[in-house]
Amino acid sequence: MYSIGIDSGSVATKGVLFNGSIIKEITIPTGWSPKMASEEVLNRLIKESNIQKEHVKKIIGTGYGRVSMPFVDKTITEITCHAKGAHFLNPTVQTILDIGGQDSKVIKIDEDGNVIDFLMNDKCAAGTGRFLQVMANVLGKDVSDLDLLTKGGEPEPITSMCTVFAESEVISLLAKGIPLENIASGIIHSIGNRGVSLLDRISIVDVVAFTGGVAKINVLKKVIEEKIEKNIYIPENSQIVGALGAAVIGWEKIE
Ligand code: ADP
């Protein structure tokens, strides 16, 4: 028997096949259709794992695209799913900072992985993966290049609070000949500051986990750790935590 969790986000659709442990995980771009992306993830999870569809007893959908998944048994908010997923990976986690493509959130959970409180920024692109994508684009790079780009850089302050103005600011910095590594480092610090301000609005209880696609930027870990003066835990694949949580909830229902 298996459960499947599918998290269709603004940028990426993630899926996890689960039977008490993670059997397989898949991440693909959401593109223009969360429905098509979710169906592709579901079909690939089953096909590439060589299992029979009938053996999947529960499918749980989450993420903003969860309303476009006619094949799921149930939909659950990403807040609950992130909490479950992070708790499954590390039961000591009590605070989660999640930065995805179009929102960022902090979630406080109890020792059983239940949500106690949460705060969300879904009104402004600054402090989200979208900000990074816009900035990487101005630098003519991919977001996955930002890690290496910051090497040896001294963070150049990015003062604009708005993504659109920050984009113009970065263009001006490039025109002034500010080294790329300093600008890249400034971009990382800017998103780090946003994450920390969100964390500051909730009392941080150890252990703090950092999840979402943006947590894949290794240098961001150190930036946030220095600012909050605490170590943070980043799952091996930070992007699939919501999908994993959905799969765990499905599995609990089967059991
Ligand atoms: P959503 O659920 O909204 O689709 P995700 O949690 O999947 O968001 O994260 C998507 C964001 O993660 C992208 O906007 C991008 O900025 C960032 N991201 C994804 N992969 C990487 C990577 N390899 N390196 C750096 N950032 C990444």
Residue 43 belongs to domain spanning: 1-90+239-255
pLDDT confidence band for 96 (50 / 70 / 90)? very high
Beta carbons within 8 Å of 217's beta carbon, 6+ residues apart? 132, 143, 146, 147, 188
43 and 76 in a single domain? The answer is yes
What is the predicted pLDDT for the residue at 161? Answer: 80
Please state the domain count of the chain.
Answer: 2
74 and 129 in a single domain? The answer is no
CA of 19 to the centre of ligand 1 (A): 26
Whether residue 193 has its Cβ less than 6 Å from ligand 1: no
23 and 40 in a single domain? The answer is yes
CA of 215 to the centre of ligand 1 (A): 8
Determine the Cα–Cα distance for residues 74 and 253; give it in Å rounded to an integer. Answer: 11
| Residue 28 exposed, middle or buried by CB count within 10 Å (0-12, 13-18, 19+) | middle
Give nearest CA residue, ligand 1 atom 26: 214
* pLDDT tens digit sequence for 6-48: 999 999 999 999 999 999 999 999 999 999 999 999 999 999 9
Whether residue 85 has its Cβ less than 6 Å from ligand 1: no
* pLDDT tens digit sequence for 121-161: 888 888 899 999 999 999 999 999 999 999 999 999 998 88
B/e letters for 199-230, b = 16+ CB within 10 Å, e = fewer, are beebebeebbbbbbbbbbbebbbebbeebbee
113 and 187 in a single domain? The answer is yes
pTM for the full predicted model: 0.95
Share the mean pLDDT of the chain.
Answer: 95
* pLDDT tens digit sequence for 198-235: 999 998 999 999 999 999 999 999 999 999 999 999 99
